Structure 1
Amino acid sequence: MRPFARLAAAAAVSTLALTGCGSASEPSPPTGVDQLVVPTPTLDPADFVAAIDNPWLPLAVGNEWRYADPAGGRTVTVTVLDEPREIQGVTGTAVRTTTTDVGSAADEQTIDWYAQDDDGNVWLLGEGGSWEAGVDGAESGLAMPAEPRVGDGWRKEYAEGVAEDQVLVIDREGSASVPYDDLTDLLETEDTSALDPGVVERRLYARGIGLVRAQTVAGGDELLELVAFSED
């Protein structure tokens, strides 16, 4: 797991045909999200919409977020691109993350693909150069549910040995003072990965903005805060 990379118990699905069958991975602990199987081995294009307007993860083309390490060692820029990609028949929205470290000879760039279903849940479909849903057993995970609740937990991605991030909602009334603004009523999550045992990251999301802070609270000391947010 790494900051700003690309932010269920199996239940019978009603209108959503996101279940598939024979998933190679275990269902997401600890509580899951109602009526969803996470991660899902197959996606039904009929369940997805064109826009990603989830208030906690608004990924409209042209939106851009700039983050910085208060110590001055790193900046991260996240941009929603007009470069769609079809994954398992679903049109994914491309999100580019550019990381600049002081003293580094070159920036690091990654592209992730997201899509929103017709209930408002946002799915992570893949990360360029790392994994893609439907390829080599990789499965789409949940980036953000439509209505996250304290205690909800899910897999954000699943590619065995490559990408195994998990998310747990721990608060809906968080607050933070970041360079962008003083913010309240924040969604707070705890992000972990089976591939990085002992590493725990806390993330804070503001409604209508998205991610505003990511801090490693165990197994490291990384901190990134929102400096600027612009909408196209």
Structure 2
Amino acid sequence: MYKHVALLGVITLLAGCNLKSDMLSGFPGQSSSTSTAVAGTSGTTAAPEDHWTPSSPIKPVLNDPATLSLTQQGWLPLAVGNRWTYSVTNPARVATAQVDAIQVIEGTPWYRYTFDGHIHWLTQDDDRLLEAVDYYDQSAITEVNPRTQEFLRPVASDRQRYVTEGGFMQAERCSQPVKVGAGSFDCVSYSLQVTPQEVRDDDYARNVGLIRRQLMTASGGVTTFSLDAFTPAKR
């Protein structure tokens, strides 16, 4: 699915389409039939460890402080139990997102992030957020080395544009704070041409996550997700 979207998006841009575009880049990985267990909020996890870094073979513990000190400092806080609530327009409804499971593979923690019913498997890599690209909407990862793409890439200062596996992406710091129901936030905006007729703009605030999503069509229609509440996991 991602590859088809990428091809359509790049063809459209080369043809002169002036719609905006967002955030995904692929890196080939290795496959294996080995699978690991998934731990949710009530699942069983490994014994606590005192220290953990992304390069360490030590397995992190569900919501343990050493792990959270790293995963909570990115653009999308990763801790099982984190929950977001959004007001949606066109049509009006309520949407939710949550981190609802962790799966540790070869010492790397993968978090199941479910946004509006769709599953993404994510892991922190320094200030980048990587996604297991072949496990979109899958309940578990079944490979030791899943193929990854960038779900979020840090933005230093100026606008960045680059072609990724998901399409043509543009990332830049928001020109002013974005105000939503949950408050007013400094943010980084990521834009992706989802299809030749639809563009997605995502605004992320550090340590909070996605604060606003706008889906815009060529006909002028706009659907907006606005953050009403972010509820961190209980420790």
TM-score range, shorter chain: 0.5 to 0.7
The runs of 5 or more residues in structure 2 that have no matched partner are 2-9, 14-23, 31-52, 61-66
Task: Tell me the alpha carbon deviations over residues 94-115 of structure 1, each in whole angstroms, 9 at most, x when there is no partner.
Answer: 1123x4xxxxxxxxx3321001
Is the 8 Å Cα contact of residues 169 and 192 (structure 2) preserved in structure 1? yes
- Structure 1 residue identity aligned to 2:87: A
Determine the C-alpha separation between the residues in 1 that align with 2:180 and 2:81. Answer: 22
- Structure 2 residue identity aligned to 1:116: Q
| Matched residue, 1:92 | 110
- Tell me which structure has the larger Cα radius of gyration: 2
Report deviation, 1:65: 0.5
Is the 8 Å Cα contact of residues 113 and 124 (structure 1) preserved in structure 2? yes
1:128 and 2:137 correspond: yes
The runs of 5 or more residues in structure 1 that have no matched partner are 2-25, 30-36, 100-108, 159-163
1:42 and 2:29 correspond: yes
Partner SS, residue 222 of structure 1: strand
| Matched residue, 1:143 | 151
CA RMSD in angstroms comes to 3.7
| Matched residue, 1:60 | 79
Task: Tell me the alpha carbon deviations over residues 117-147 of structure 1, each in whole angstroms, 9 at most, x when there is no partner.
Answer: 2x2211011312499797xxx9421011244
1:211 and 2:210 correspond: yes
For the structure 1 residues 167 and 120, does the alpha-carbon distance in structure 2 shift closer, same or farther, using more than 3 Å as the test? same
Determine the C-alpha separation between the residues in 2 that align with 1:116 and 1:57. Answer: 9
| Matched residue, 2:223 | 222
Is the 8 Å Cα contact of residues 150 and 172 (structure 1) preserved in structure 2? no
* TM-score normalised over the length of structure 1: 0.60
Task: Tell me the alpha carbon deviations over residues 128-169 of structure 1, each in whole angstroms, 9 at most, x when there is no partner.
Answer: 2499797xxx9421011244543334567x5xxxxx355311
| Matched residue, 1:200 | 199
* TM-score normalised over the length of structure 2: 0.60
| Matched residue, 1:190 | 191
Identity of aligned residues (%): 21
Higher relative contact order (CA 8 A, sep 6+): 2
